[in-house]
Structure 1
């Protein structure tokens, strides 16, 4: 089984919404218009992980050029999800590595992400990948 990451298309929206709904936070949202949300994406890339023709992972990444002395170009990682039946198989690590590569290619020197305070397992995951808690989120230097 080969896992490939690619930009999402409008046809992927239902599968992405299913991944988001699997999450305990996502179950409270039943009023989402996924196609309208997809159309509204600006400056953000929506990526899916596909395995054997099935969408099994997703994330969003934005590259932001800032007036900043510490990191004039930052990437923001959001909406990280892996299908619940495939968790624990290192797919999340591949997903984050793909996001980091896209960020680097976009000129980012830091990756920022936020995670719900109740997601303790996710926090351990990001820390294990080298992210550090700072302020109310996480960030990681993207140097080669």
Structure 2
């Protein structure tokens, strides 16, 4: 088993591993983003130009407050999912830390198998383990299936988010 494995499902034919992403995962991650219509509309293409992804990966990987993880089929198998978990300090809520989940993607061929729920469950547990008072995420307004998914996992649509492109 790789040293960077964070979690493992039950052993067996359909075993999944969750591990820290490595630089050689960047092409697979770009392909996951590019295969998603919402991400593709924002500029993720997975077209082979990986320079921006590689710069971002290096920054994320170097910062201990960020974890970029991948779910793989078995130990060393292909990437089938990803998410980024960031740990944010804050003064609100009596100085509570927050776990921020971003960029959750599961390969289309793997949806409905529990990969996403397993990754989110790990992120919630890791946030709790690190002393966070809450875990939060955002989801694009057009992702109705994702909203139902997050609600099934115990998340509440509690805020309205705003973004401004720069």
> Does the pair score TM above 0.5?
yes
Q: Judging changes above 3 Å, is the alpha-carbon distance between structure 1 residues 71 and 88 closer, same or farther for their aligned structure 2 residues?
A: farther
Query: 4+ residue stretches of structure 1 with deviation over 4 A?
Result: none
Question: RMSD of the TM alignment (CA)?
Answer: 1.6
Q: Which residue of 2 aligns with 1:36?
A: 55
**Bigger share in strand:** 1
Deviation for aligned residue 1:26: 2.2
In structure 2, the partner of 1:115 is: 139
Pairwise CA distance, 1:40: 2.1
Matches within 5 A, 1:10-49: 10-28=23-41, 29=43, 30=45, 33-41=52-60, 42=63, 43-49=65-71
Unaligned runs of 5+ residues in structure 1 are 138-144
Shift of 1:2: 0.9
Q: Which runs of 5+ in 2 are unaligned?
A: 1-13, 162-166
Distance of 1:97 and 1:71 partners within structure 2? 24
Counterparts of 1:122 and 1:58, CA distance in 2: 15
TM-score relative to the length of structure 2: 0.77
Q: Partners of 1:37 and 1:78 in 2: how far apart?
A: 14
Equivalent residue pairs, number? 137
